[in-house]
Amino acid sequence: MEILDVDLPGYETGGAAKRRAIVDGVTRSLATGFVYVAHDLPEDELDDCYAMLERFFALPEAAKARTAAPGSRGQRGYTGLLVETAAGRRAADWKEMLNWGEAAPAGHPLGRRFPDRYGEPVLPEADLPGISALLMRFHRRLAELQRRFLRIVAAGLGADERFFDAMVEHGATLTRAIHYPPTASAPGPEHVWSAEHGDINLVTALPRATAPGLQVKTSEGWLDASPPPGHAILNSGLMLEHLSNGRIPTGIHRVVAQPDQTGARLSVVQFCHPTPDTILAPLACCIDAAHPQRFGAIQAADRLDEVLWEIGLAGD
């Protein structure tokens, strides 16, 4: 079992045969829950974002704490060390995070019903002038890449190519910068960077990390995620597994430092979510005699609430 690399821009510009080959590659690779995707994100913009985020995580603790967003349940602002805990684990992860996303359009009912998921971004503009515009531009570029990728996924499932478009147009998509300090500074060996888990959302995108550490769980064991240059890593989440009736499994993964790794690690990931009022139910095209319906229907907001409780963020 291996993670394949596919050409996202090529799907949009290629002929029918090339498009079919890319759909097939994505479908086969997602048996692992992961795929490498050639992208067209500006590399200089990635450089600027990561440099700015390195500066943020180097700030004094008091300065980072000013960016916390109480009540957002980890959906906005700064989350400190030893807060998030993988479901089923007792030891918290050794990581700190900065979270941001789009506010709901003015007067939109989603903003009133789900304020934690649609609050205004809380970013350290006073300490790092220009960071808000930079990170929000990056958020929108990455969200567009994920929307484009989901069209390939939809085609592979047998649905209309644009099935996910409306679902994610005002989705509660969240971008998260994750700083993993050197493991030698952790309180104990039980606190790894990020313990084994699956993401709750539809799809997660990781365009770059500053050090190795991401590993994918397969039937043959743990596999290091090592994309070719110019590729983003995309993985499937619990909501996509639900909608696909299990045909696309959740990508189970962890982030662990190598034995000889002494430094820190920084990555930026984006969790592509549907709108919270989306009803998650297996697609008809994913149900047949060989694949009887595995899941019932549940609102996306309720499924997210379950996972936030499991990882220790529900009471924030």
The whole-model pTM stands at 0.94
Per-residue pLDDT at 89: 87
Per the model's pLDDT, the better-predicted residue between 309 and 201 turns out to be 201
pLDDT at 306 over 70: yes
Q: How confident is the model at residue 103 (pLDDT cuts 50, 70, 90)?
A: very high
Whether residue 316 is contained in a domain is answered as no
CA atoms within 13 A on the CB side of 175: 26
Phi/psi for 310 (5° steps) reads: -65, -30
CATH code for position 292: 2.60.120.330
pLDDT digits (tens, 9 = 90+) for 148-167: 999 999 999 999 999 999 99
Q: What is the pLDDT of residue 315?
A: 60
- Mean of per-residue pLDDT scores for the chain: 94
The pLDDT of residue 314: 65
Question: Is 246 among the domain residues?
Answer: yes
Considering the domain boundaries, does residue 294 fall inside one? Answer: yes
Q: Are 193 and 255 in contact (CB under 8 A)?
A: yes
pLDDT in the model for residue 37? 96
Q: Give the structural domain span for 77.
A: 5-310
At residue 316 the predicted structure's pLDDT band, cuts being 50, 70 and 90, is low
| Confidence at residue 308, expressed as pLDDT on a 0 to 100 scale | 83
> Residue 173 domain-assigned?
yes
Query: pLDDT tens across 291-302, in order?
Result: 999 999 999 999
Residues 6+ apart with CB under 8 A from 152: 6, 8, 11, 22, 23, 26
What is the percent of the chain with per-residue pLDDT over 70, rounded to a whole number?
A: 99
| CB-based contact 269:206 (threshold 8 Å) | yes
- Domains: count for the chain: 1
Q: Is residue 88 part of a domain?
A: yes
In a domain, 315, yes or no: no
Say if residue 62's pLDDT is above 60: yes
What would the pLDDT profile of 269-284 be if each residue is shown by its tens digit?
999 999 999 999 999 9
Res 73: pLDDT: 85
CA distance 27 to 203: 14
Q: How confident is the model at residue 71 (pLDDT cuts 50, 70, 90)?
A: confident
Please give the Cα distance from 100 to 93 (Å, whole number).
20
